[in-house]
């Protein structure tokens, strides 16, 4: 028994020494299933106007086996002439389950809570089928479609003439479609686009988010985004589209 232990220890020591000397025996690093990003942007205007705005974003993604879960939180704060003018939180959560190499089931929730804008609460819940046309390190193209439910509570105390809103409580079935694509022609450059359509009896809304990200270091990047909202039904005299351009710093973990 003692000789067997000596032989086993000798073989183990030889294997360790061989692994240290032979480059073929390299340590395999398993990537973490978690990834996250923090985004921060700030603007200040002085002179004829005195405004300060802060926008931030936090997202977390977890991938394990057939499951993928993604959560995002956005916060926007605007001060105008020393007073708080806008404050809004946007949060979303989605979980996917792979059915095959390209198809998956999804469940999605998106909520908006705002103190000063047209809606106090704006919630969308949806579930359906997703399809990945491409899913590589350089190019991603995904499409999701499915039914859902929308709840909107109007902020009757804050409605102005320039708000895209009708003073009605919305509780309705919807159809949702989401197209997501990313293209990285270089290791340091990424173009991304996400287009979401939500259609119900009260209104059809299309959100588009286009962005360009330039990696500065392994963990820090500069991001330029263009966000656009389209409503097919608006009060008389208002434009059907609103858009905003933002520049921010992204920190990845």
Q: What is the pLDDT of residues 100-124, one digit of tens each?
A: 999 999 999 999 887 655 566 789 9
* Secondary structure in 3-state letters for 79-142: EECCEEEEEEEEEEEEEEEECCCCEEEEEEEEEEEECCCCEEEEEEEEEEEEEEEEECCCEEEE
Of the candidate CATH numbers 3.40.1390.10, 3.30.2010.10, 2.40.160.40, 1.10.150.530, the domain formed by 34-252 belongs to 2.40.160.40
C-alpha distances out from residue 154 to 23, 132, 160, 166, Å: 65, 36, 12, 8
- Positive or negative: CA dihedral 207, 40, 122, 82: negative
Whether the pLDDT of residue 237 is over 50: the answer is yes
Provide, rounded to the nearest whole percent, the portion of the chain with pLDDT above 90.
Answer: 45
Least confident segment among 100-109, 137-146, 178-187, 217-226:
217-226
pLDDT (0 to 100) of residue 28: 62
Helix (H) or strand (E) holding 16: helix 2-21
Q: For residues 122 and 114, what is the distance between their CA atoms, to the nearest angstrom? A: 9
Q: Tokens standing for 231?
A: 């409503």
Helix (H) or strand (E) holding 3: helix 2-21
Confidence of residue 202 (pLDDT cuts 50, 70, 90): confident
Measure the CA dihedral 209/215/218/220, to 10°. -70
CB 33 within 8 A of CB 63: yes
Helix (H) or strand (E) holding 11: helix 2-21
Whether the pLDDT of residue 89 is over 90: the answer is no
Q: What is the pLDDT of residues 120-166, one digit of tens each?
A: 678 999 999 999 999 998 999 999 999 999 998 876 665 555 555 56
Looking up tokens 């708080």 gives 84
């Amino acid at each position: 028994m003692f000789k067997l232990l000596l032989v086993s220890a000798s073989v183990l020591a030889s294997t360790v020494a061989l692994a240290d000397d032979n480059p073929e025996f390299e340590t395999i690093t398993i990537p973490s299933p978690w990834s996250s990003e923090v985004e921060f942007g700030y603007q200040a205007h002085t002179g004829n106007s005195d405004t300060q705005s802060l926008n931030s974003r936090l997202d977390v993604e977890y991938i394990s086996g057939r499951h993928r879960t993604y959560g995002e939180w956005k916060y926007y704060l605007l001060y105008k002439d020393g007073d708080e003018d806008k404050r809004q939180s946007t949060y979303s959560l989605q979980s996917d389950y792979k059915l095959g190499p390209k198809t998956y089931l999804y469940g999605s929730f998106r909520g908006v809570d705002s103190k000063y804008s047209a809606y106090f609460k704006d919630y969308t819940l949806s579930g359906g089928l997703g399809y990945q046309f491409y899913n590589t390190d350089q190019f991603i193209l995904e499409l999701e479609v499915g039914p859902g439910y929308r709840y909107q509570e109007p902020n009757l105390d804050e409605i102005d003439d320039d708000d895209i809103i009708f003073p009605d409580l919305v509780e309705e079935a919807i159809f949702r479609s989401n197209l997501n694509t990313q293209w990285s022609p270089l290791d340091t450059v990424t173009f991304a686009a996400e287009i979401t359509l939500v259609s119900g009896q009260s209104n059809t809304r299309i959100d588009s988010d286009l962005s360009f990200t330039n990696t500065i270091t392994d963990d820090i990047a500069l991001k330029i985004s263009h966000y656009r909202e389209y409503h097919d039904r608006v009060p008389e005299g208002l434009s059907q589209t609103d858009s905003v351009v933002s520049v921010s710093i992204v920190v990845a973990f």
